[in-house]
Amino acid sequence: MTVTYLKKATSTSKSGHEDVRDRVEAMLNTIAEGGDDAAVDYNLKLDGWDGQTFVTPEQLAEATAKVPEQLKKDIQFAHANIKRFAEAQKASTADFQTEVIPGLIAGQKQIPVTAAGCYVPGGRYAHIASAIMTVTTAKVAGVTHIAACSPPKKGEGIHPAILYAMDLCGADRILNMGGVQGVAAMANGLFGLPKADILVGPGNQYVAEAKRILYGQVGIDMFAGPTDSMVIADSDADPKIVAWDLVGQAEHGYNSPVWLVTDTQALADKVMAEVPNAIDDLPDLNRDNAAAAWRDYAEVILCETREEMAAMANQYAPEHLTVLCRDLDWYLAELNAYGSLFLGEETTVAFGDKASGTNHVLPTSGAARYTGGLSVHKFMKTVTWQRSTRAAAKPVAEATARISRLEGMEGHARTADIRLAKFFPDETFDLSPD
């Protein structure tokens, strides 16, 4: 494979991880020991919040009144699309039973978890869409109790539009609490909440690390790092669209990698010339993030063929993958490692991030090699069951006894022996593995 890096990343996004882990672990231990009071203390210390822990119906009504009508309609539109897609996901997996051998019936059931905790970022940006993505999907899955939390601003509380979205999508309780303390409150069942079976939703490095440490005590959607995005583009692609699709994702943070993979040198040159202009056109904070991400983490990769471009994408396994090329069906068939795929210039990552229906909680840092993003299935357990006639149990018990003894697990073998002796008292069985 002939690949040329026209621009190479100079940094990785892993620096400082040990310090973050130590600080988060200490906070989680303090909250586990101190309970409600410790979480409240952190909420006051870190976010300056001294108000009520839970959002009241009156506060929800006040928040709803503050949300412009057009924004409400947009949130409702996004919610309907995400709900519709989640319902289709749920319908794609069903309970079933099958007769493995005559008389032995085995089955599968889909059982939603009892309690979910949904984290919605609200610091640097008001992540309205994250509320829709997490709460809606849990609701469609059939989760019994959905708690949601987001960082409150001092003297104000959670952003009104986030509150409106949480309520619209079906959150049962909403905590005025963000960061590690919000995650810990849901995981530990503080303030009278049921302990979360699973924690979902994006967040900063502290939230991500809290979820990582708590994994095992609770389930999580995935281990998350900085958001990343790749664009595959050929000579037909519009350089300005390519540039903005890269910049639009780079604004997430200073360490958000973006990659362009192309087979056309002229397109690469135009995009690299256009990106700085696009970055300069952003507001201050967004501009600073995008400029740093482009400078330190972005790559532009020149390939010779579309097969090489697809292979490069499969190697990187990006969180978001946009294809701006001819023959989109070919790429749909060949690409196999991505969080979410966007085919053609008529769609873009931001559509999936906000309103088109697919979920924006996606695997980062190459995790798309082995997992997909948040879906109804993350909130559901695929469990199995079996039932047998005595006649069908006979050959299964014989094989089980012999395999168990060969493994040295005599207790397992005896559970098979005792059934054979009870069900078939007049028969003799050779249950030795030799």
Catalytic residues: 319-320
Contacts of 232 (CB under 8 A, 6+ apart): 261, 262, 309, 310, 313, 321, 322, 323, 324, 325, 331
Distance CA 148, CA 163 (A): 10
Residue 409: partners with Cβ closer than 8 Å, 6 or more residues away? none
Which SS3 state, helix, strand or coil, does residue 406 take? helix
Please give the full DSSP string across 52-97, using - where no structure is assigned: -SBPPHHHHHHHHHHS-HHHHHHHHHHHHHHHHHHHHHHHTS--EE
| Bridge partners (DSSP) listed for residue 7 | 300
For the packed helices 69-91 and 160-169, what is the interaxial angle rounded to 10 degrees? 40
DSSP state of 408: T
Residue 324: count other Cβ atoms within 10 Å of its Cβ. Answer: 24
Q: Say if CB 275 and CB 240 are below 8 A apart.
A: no
What are the tokens at 383? Answer: 């469990």
* 8 A C-beta contact, residue 141 and residue 376: yes
The span from the CA of 359 to the CA of 207, in Å, is 19
**Angle, alpha carbons 337-320-352 (nearest 5°):** 125
Q: Which residues pair with 173 in a beta bridge?
A: 147
Q: Partners of 182 in the beta sheet?
A: none
Task: For the chain, report the end-to-end CA distance as a whole number of angstroms.
Answer: 53
Distances, alpha carbon 300 to alpha carbons 146, 232, 338, in Å: 42, 10, 18
Rg (CA), the chain: 26
Q: Is 333 helix (H, G, I), strand (E, B) or coil?
A: helix
Within 13 Å of residue 81, how many CA atoms lie on the same side as its CB?
17
Sorted by sequence, the CB contacts under 8 Å of residue 279 that are 6+ apart come out as 247, 250, 287, 290, 291, 294
Beta-bridge partners for 148: 118, 174
The residue assigned the tokens 């958001």 is 227
